[in-house]
Structure 1
Amino acid sequence: MWTDTRPAAELPRLFEKGADVISLAGGLPDLDVLPLGDISQQLARLVRLGGKLALQYTTPHVAKALVPAVADLMAREDGHADAGNLIPTSGSQMGLTAVALALGTPGDTILVQTPAYPGATAAFRTAGLDLHAAGEDADGLCPQQLRTTVRELRAAGRTVRLLYVNPTFQNPTGATLSVPRRAEILTACRELDLLLIEDNPYGLLGFDGTTTTLFQALDPQQVVYLGTFSKIFAPGLRSGWIAAPEHLRYDLARVAEIISLSPSALAQGALAAYYSRSGWTELIDRYRDSYRERCTLMADALDAELGADSPWTWQRPGGGFYLWLRHRDGADATRYAQAAAAHGVSFVPGGHFSIDGEHNDGLRLCFSNVPRKKITEAVTRLAAALTETPAVARELAEVSG
């Protein structure tokens, strides 16, 4: 069941840029690290020798030549890639939609780790699912609160079968769930007969090179895993995969085929060709180095510009793309977005990551694609906006005298 939904219409605006605006909004990777010369030669060879196949419709499977590349990526986080249970997608976004349509029924409730990736919540709403926040404690998603929430919802007549998590360098907070906490959550999921949807675009982008064991590695039959090449190669190829539990493979593959008919043989061939010649290690290390440097520059600039006395708080992430700021007094960050635009910088207000109006006191900064030489200037502009009295509050103060 397809429904109109506000977040889906707003997603493309994250990638728009004004003439003098430094964008800290859209989560774009740093494609300067790509060896474009090598990729160009490999694509040319692929088209020259096999263009009639690469440019044609193909079967709805992950290409045999690409399976080792997927298996390598998942194994770096202890995951399991069984060729028979891999389903091709046009990135994780298509995977989220396929999962929602295949495994949910309109009117079902899906539990969501919040603040949440807006593309996921838009996909779930589009499939007719009702969203409910999964409770958290100081260590992240809380298994005991999960039990309480599910039992209360079911007692109220709601059908709850799915839990969505973005557990490693989460979008937007940059937070990561520990392995012991993941094991506890999976225990609760088995008790509650909940299927866990693991969305993992950033897991290999830890700044120090370490990784965290996947939920999927801990229990492959309880987890639907969504992987993508967008963050460790390039989003323009629109290529990803679902690693499905065996008993759900048919349902998920059927919906994925309806959505796309055929995966891109050219994209899969390009990725397989790159992997067979170069592997992933060098490229992933380049991405990690780039993001570690940019994150350090941005966090250092925030420390210098806002300082410890600021009403805005944040933590340095260990990887990924994002810094998450929150206002100590709960001020709505949307009010500061206009001031930021006036100063020539953009960010995403926290309300975009809510499912029911929460997290308005937060804002997301993306450092992954900001030119290094502009990061300090961007934070200077941002700090000027965040330390102003927002226009709405100023007007109220003037009225009250």
Structure 2
Amino acid sequence: MEDLHPGVADPVMDTMNFLNEITLNYPEAISFAPGRPYEEFFDTEQIFTHLRRYLDYLAAQGRSAAEVRSAMFQYGPSAGLIRELIADSLRVDEGIDVPAESIVVTVGCQEAMFLALRALMAGPEDVLLVSSPCYVGITGAARLLDAEVVAVKEREDGLSCADLEVTVLAERKRGRRPRALYVVPDHSNPSGVTMPLRTRHQLLELAERLDLLILEDSPYRLVSPGAQVPTLKSLDRRRRVIHLGSFAKSLFPGARVGYAVADQTVLRADGTTGLLADELAKIKSMITVNTSPLSQAAVAGALLASDGHVCESNAELAAHYGDSMQAALRGLDREFPAARRSRLGVSWNAPSGGFFLTLQVAFRADDDALSRSAKEFGVIWTPMSYFHPDGGGDHTIRLSTSYLAHVEVEEGLRRLADFIESEVVAAQPHG
């Protein structure tokens, strides 16, 4: 191991493997761990329909049979085949009006994160700011790129711009250069918190004043019920936001198609200018070469079917996820009435959408506790300590409500309540 990159030994790299191992070892357990879409809405025939629709679309554009064949079977451009369709969808669904040339189609959002970090982290003094708790995908990518991560502790209502400014100024005083802030503003993974509109405006103003870029990752908007707060990118007038997107939740994760919107201007050494997206595409050409044309075609067919209005076509799906979240919140109220809640030291938040909520407990919610929960009570959850890059979250667990049927949510919470009762009782002094 000492001859390998130190990033592979980072504890964050083992979190998903540990969860997968627990799930495999206890297949009968009800798992609140995976942030996966609900599978009952998938239909395998849809894939063929989407592919056919996109092939017909290419033919209707005047592409010859040979050109269509080449588009599907060859490598294709690194920046992607379906940028125009993604740009149209962002315009009608999210109010993000950017040229197609500013989009790079990636292998999931994870690659989009990697490309953005590789481009922005230019030297050892550059640091990435993250809200804490934070999605492990970004901190893991930063670790593999030797990029320093500095956490800004999230408050009960989310990120505080005052805290962010203090952190930026402190880092600069240390001789370091904060380059970007990574944030999930809508129904955040892992906390479930949504950033208020006022904070979004304040954040954009602060980013301009402090010369900071924002990496916006927001995969849960189009699968959450009700009106959504505008994206940071749709409010961005100074090109401070690099919007990282994915079709994993809104369409299906098996396609592995994401994208980066990088419309920032880059001044080259020869005095010419281009888009940051062009530079991201260069990096991509040396990592994955291009995103699978077949995957792009399947996504494109789905976008064409809804005229880019993924939000409208996902109305039933969003309602299901909203119902699942409400079922979980009702279940928590049922399992932990006021007296029991107080006795056990339990509390939780109430997200308006997304896949996740967080539960505060009185005991240490670590891997050992998770193992006991799975083995003895048949319920799996995620320790929130996984998501705190600077430590913390030891008494908090993350519950995902997306992957389970409502009846499983109810039974899972009953088992969880029994587990929590057992942990608290075991921790009490006897005598």
- Superposed counterparts of 1:113-192, under 5 Å: 113-192=131-210
Q: Does 1:10 align with 2:15?
A: yes
Q: Deviations over 1:337-394 (max 9, x none)?
A: 2331121110001101110111122111111011222111111111111111369846
> Shift of residue 274 of structure 1?
2.2
> Shift of residue 22 of structure 1?
0.9
Cα RMSD for the two superposed structures: 2.4
In the alignment, which residue of structure 2 is the partner of 1:276?
Answer: 304
What 5-or-longer segments of structure 1 have no aligned partner? none
The partner residue of 2:358 within 290, 305, 324 is 324
- Superposed counterparts of 1:229-308, under 5 Å: 229-247=247-265, 248-279=276-307, 280-308=310-338
Q: Does 1:217 align with 2:234?
A: yes
CA distance in 1, matches of 2:53, 2:157: 49
CA distance in 2, matches of 1:194, 1:88: 24
> Shift of residue 100 of structure 1?
1.3
In the alignment, which residue of structure 2 is the partner of 1:68?
Answer: 85
Q: Contact 1:34–1:233 (CA<8 Å) still a contact in 2?
A: no
Q: Does 1:349 align with 2:353?
A: no
In the alignment, which residue of structure 2 is the partner of 1:31?
Answer: 39
What 5-or-longer segments of structure 2 have no aligned partner? 57-64, 266-275
Identity value in percent:
28
Query: Which letter does structure 2 place at the counterpart of 1:340?
Result: S
Which 10-residue stretch deviates more, 138-147 or 310-319? 138-147
User: Structure 1's 45 and 137: CA in aligned 2 closer, same or farther, altered over 3 A?
Assistant: closer
CA distance in 1, matches of 2:157, 2:29: 36
Q: Deviations over 1:27-65 (max 9, x none)?
A: 00013223433333343676897555313211112324x
> Shift of residue 326 of structure 1?
1.5
CA distance in 1, matches of 2:98, 2:423: 52
Give the TM-score, by structure 1 length: 0.90
In the alignment, which residue of structure 2 is the partner of 1:333?
Answer: 365
User: Structure 1's 46 and 195: CA in aligned 2 closer, same or farther, altered over 3 A?
Assistant: closer
In the alignment, which residue of structure 2 is the partner of 1:87?
Answer: 104
Q: Contact 2:257–2:296 (CA<8 Å) still a contact in 1?
A: yes
Query: Which letter does structure 1 place at the counterpart of 2:370?
Result: A
Query: Which letter does structure 2 place at the counterpart of 1:374?
Result: E
What is the number of residues matched between the two proteins?
393
> Shift of residue 282 of structure 1?
4.6
Which 10-residue stretch deviates more, 270-279 or 170-179? 270-279
Q: Contact 2:38–2:403 (CA<8 Å) still a contact in 1?
A: yes
Q: Contact 1:24–1:366 (CA<8 Å) still a contact in 2?
A: yes
- Superposed counterparts of 1:318-397, under 5 Å: 318-327=352-361, 329=362, 331-334=363-366, 336-341=369-374, 342-389=376-423, 393=427, 397=429
Query: Which letter does structure 2 place at the counterpart of 1:332?
Result: R
Q: Contact 1:11–1:118 (CA<8 Å) still a contact in 2?
A: no
User: Structure 1's 179 and 74: CA in aligned 2 closer, same or farther, altered over 3 A?
Assistant: farther
The partner residue of 2:113 within 87, 92, 96 is 96
CA distance in 1, matches of 2:394, 2:167: 23
Q: Contact 2:53–2:304 (CA<8 Å) still a contact in 1?
A: no
> Shift of residue 97 of structure 1?
1.2
Q: Contact 2:133–2:153 (CA<8 Å) still a contact in 1?
A: no
| Secondary structure of residue in 1 paired with 2:230 | coil
